[in-house]
Amino acid sequence: MAKPPQTRPTSAQWGLPYADGASSPAVKREQTYIIAFAVLTIVAWQTAIGTLALMPFTLLSTWWHEMAHGLMAAALGAEFERLVIFANGSGFAESSGNLGRIGQAVVAASGLLGPTIAGSVLIIASRSPRATKVMLFGLAIALIASTLIWVRSMAGWIVLPLFAAGAFLIASRATRKWQRIAIEFLGVQGAVSVYQDIDYLFSPGAAVDGQVALSDTGRIAEALFLPYWFWGGAITIAIVAMVWKSLQIAGRT
């Protein structure tokens, strides 16, 4: 008696339907789009017209940056008191508590590396429809929660809830294709947010609401050793490595 043909169990539809692994044309196109998002965003931020056109995303980038400062300060035992985002795209996270020199350096570095870590996680999530939806909902919740708890500026109160609403609607109503495009684009915004001003990493000071203050690399240099430009270069290498690794992981089946 002939056996009925056996069917192989199919895996859950977790990864994106790329048939030939990371070397497939579809995956390479996806990676090219993500890299293009990143490059175009960085270039646009260096021009007055581009900065104006990307102003909502500039404010979102400030949120990524300052939230990383504030949450790291809280994780090290300080009190995260408030987050201020100005309409021109600058901002600050205010915390209280004595963190010591190493703690101050870690908090300063977190504002540069934290957004890239978060953005890379979003890019990696794009390989899975389920993970994409979860991360979009999670981002919406994080934006609303941070606005209610820490944000203390009109620009933040207006822009962040709008992004939260957009992320929620895309997660609940959009097709998988547009959910993937959205999570990749938002991931890029986080990953390259430090390059909103490309000179920032390699400058000892920066302007915040018209007042000059130490840049993050300047704070690291002051708290530890070696000049600010060394830390700017080291952080740039770390950012490139994280984004590259996230693209590799996102391209796997």
On average, the pLDDT of the chain sits at 83
Convert the pLDDT of each residue in 205-252 to its tens digit: 766 656 667 889 999 999 998 899 999 999 999 998 998 898 888 876
Convert the pLDDT of each residue in 42-73 to its tens digit: 888 888 788 788 888 889 989 999 999 999 99
In the predicted model, is pLDDT for residue 25 greater than 90? no
Q: By mean pLDDT, which of 9-23, 80-94, 151-165 is the weakest?
A: 9-23
The one-character DSSP state at 1 is -
Nearest Cα residue to 233 out of 92, 112, 116: 112
Under the banding of pLDDT at 50, 70 and 90, the label for residue 4 is very low
Residue range 189-215: average pLDDT? 75
Domain positions in the chain are: 42-250
The sign of the dihedral angle between the CA atoms of 172, 176, 181, 184 is: positive
pLDDT at residue 170 is higher than 60: yes
Residue pair 212/205 in contact by the 8 Å Cβ criterion = yes
The tokens describing 52, both together, are 């104006």
Query: Over 60: is that where the pLDDT of 15 sits?
Result: no
CA distance 127 to 107: 31
pLDDT band of 27, cuts 50, 70, 90: low
Sequence-separated (6 or more) residues with CB below 8 Å from residue 246: 119, 120, 121, 123, 124, 187, 191
pLDDT at 22: 44
Position 89 pLDDT exceeds 50? yes
In the prediction, which pLDDT does 207 show? 60
Per-residue model confidence as pLDDT tens digits over 111-163: 999 999 999 999 999 888 999 999 999 999 999 999 999 999 999 999 999 99
Which residues are within 8 A (CB) of 165 and not within 5 positions of it... i.e. 6 or more apart?
140
Question: 């993937």: which residue's tokens?
Answer: 180
Task: Give the 3-state DSSP-derived string for 171-232, with helices as H, strands as E and coil as C.
Answer: HHHCCHHHHHHHHHHHHHHHHCHHHHCCCHHHCCEEEECCEEEECHHHHHHHHCCCCHHHHH
**Residue 185 backbone class (left: φ over 0; alpha: ψ -120 to 50; beta: rest):** alpha
